[in-house]
Amino acid sequence: MTVEAAIEKASDILVRSRNAVVSSGAGMSAESGIATFRDPGGVWERLDPAQVGTTAGLLNTLQNNPEPLISMFHELLDVFANAEPNAGHEALYELERMGILQTVITQNIDNLHQEAGSIKVIEVHGNGFRFRCLSCSTRVAMSRKGLIRDVRARLDQLTDYSPAVLMDVMPQCDQCGSMMRPDVVMFGEAVQHIPEAYAAVQSADAMLALGTSGVVYPAAAFPFEAKKAGAPVIVVNPNENAFDSVSDVYVPMKAGEALPALVDNVRRKLG
Ligand code: NAD
Ligand code: ZN
């Protein structure tokens, strides 16, 4: 199937849809300047997930060999400070305003779907601009620029990254005074909002899997669940992915190019 035919078929599905659900992954934000972890040049080529992907591994690496991690962390702060929603995020907001898209489920922690305007966003891996109290689970959202400024200032003062020192610089909960931590899901930790995500997926009348490789579970299961419940599945990804057996339409393009084209087609068809 040509790319044009794939866009045409995908827009035919969306024109008929009133309860489309998105499952987005790191590729969704690649055109906002946030590189995926898994692709060539990504974080996992430079750092070992076993050493930095779990909370215990991260604390251990920070204490014993912090330099590569701290320098990568500064790079990520720069990237996140400058990231803005791309044309793909904006197209999804448009689909929501057209009454077609109802829910965005995302593995991303970058807040960009919300910043593009999307209202119902289920974040299964948390949000990098939010803290969570370790005792009472109170969550506090921070502003992108303010938080990054604050983290940079605190990092610049540290020479020792032992757990005791890090605990000291973490914010404290207003409700109970305990330590707060970034509200992101590390390897081995429980993913968030899975019942809500499954409910959205099982009631979807179309599923869009956008910029996700299909290897990180349980998010990888969403397109399969939607298909089982009768929804056609549209996959947008310029590279190979794990959804061949489930996709009704595969659009081999970047999300920031495919989604605006899809929305244009849908708008034309709806007249
Ligand atoms: P992943 O396994 O979902 O892989 C990313 C996918 O995006 C790949 O299949 C790749 O082919 C595709 N892709 C690359 N550029 C694209 C584009 N322009 N348009 C559409 N698709 C594109 O994700 P990962 O990178 O291995 O990350 C693992 C986890 O780490 C994520 O689930 C997330 O929790 C976290 N992460 C978050 C961000 C973010 O918040 N932006 C970025 C990197 C990683
Ligand atoms: Zn608390």
Q: What's the pLDDT tens digit per position in 55-98?
A: 889 889 888 888 888 888 888 899 999 999 999 999 999 999 99
Give the distance (Å) from ligand 1 centre to CA of residue 270: 32
pLDDT at position 41 over 80: no
Tell me which of 23, 32, 36 to substitute to probe ligand 1's pocket, judged by most ligand atoms within 8 Å of the beta carbon. 36
Give me the pLDDT at residue 123, please: 98
Q: Name the residue with the closest Cα to ligand 1, atom 30.
A: 37
Catalytic residue flag (residue 89)? no
**Nearest one of 133, 125, 132, 251 to 197, comparing CA atoms:** 125
Q: Between 188 and 114, where is the model more confident?
A: 114
- Which residue spans within 147-205 are E strands per DSSP? 180-184
Give me the pLDDT at residue 133, please: 97
**Tokens 């020192």 -> residue:** 165
Dist CA 190 CA 193 (whole Å): 10
With bands split at pLDDT 50, 70 and 90, how would you rate the model's confidence at 138?
very high
pLDDT at position 246 over 90: yes
Q: Between 187 and 31, where is the model more confident?
A: 31
Ligand 1 atom at shortest distance from the alpha carbon of 83: 41
Give me the pLDDT at residue 38, please: 80
**Nearest one of 252, 219, 221 to 235, comparing CA atoms:** 252
Give the distance (Å) from ligand 1 centre to CA of residue 47: 16
Q: Name the residue with the closest Cα to ligand 1, atom 15.
A: 27
Give the distance (Å) from ligand 2 centre to CA of residue 233: 41
Give me the pLDDT at residue 165, please: 87
Q: Spell out the residues 6+ positions from residue 146 whose beta carbon is closer than 8 angstroms to its own.
A: none
Q: Between 217 and 203, where is the model more confident?
A: 203
Hey, CA dihedral for 79, 83, 86, 89, is it positive or negative? positive
% of the chain at pLDDT higher than 90 = 74
pLDDT at position 211 over 80: yes
pLDDT at position 262 over 80: yes
pLDDT at position 44 over 80: no
Tell me which of 37, 72, 104 to substitute to probe ligand 1's pocket, judged by most ligand atoms within 8 Å of the beta carbon. 37
Q: How far is CA 72 from CA 47, 67, 142, in A?
A: 9, 9, 22
Ligand 1 proximal residues by C-beta, below 6 Å: 25-27, 29-31, 34, 36-39, 42, 107-110, 125, 211-213, 215-216, 236-239, 241, 254-255
Give the distance (Å) from ligand 2 centre to CA of residue 177: 6
Q: Name the residue with the closest Cα to ligand 1, atom 39.
A: 108
Give me the pLDDT at residue 40, please: 78
Which bound ligand lies closest to the C-alpha atom of 208? 1
Ligand 1 atom at shortest distance from the alpha carbon of 241: 9
Q: Choosing from 74, 89, 113, 125, which is the catalytic residue?
A: 125
On whether the CB atoms of residues 15 and 267 are closer than 8 A, the answer is no
Mean pLDDT of the chain: 94
For the chain, the C-alpha Rg in angstroms (whole number) is 20
Which bound ligand lies closest to the C-alpha atom of 83? 1
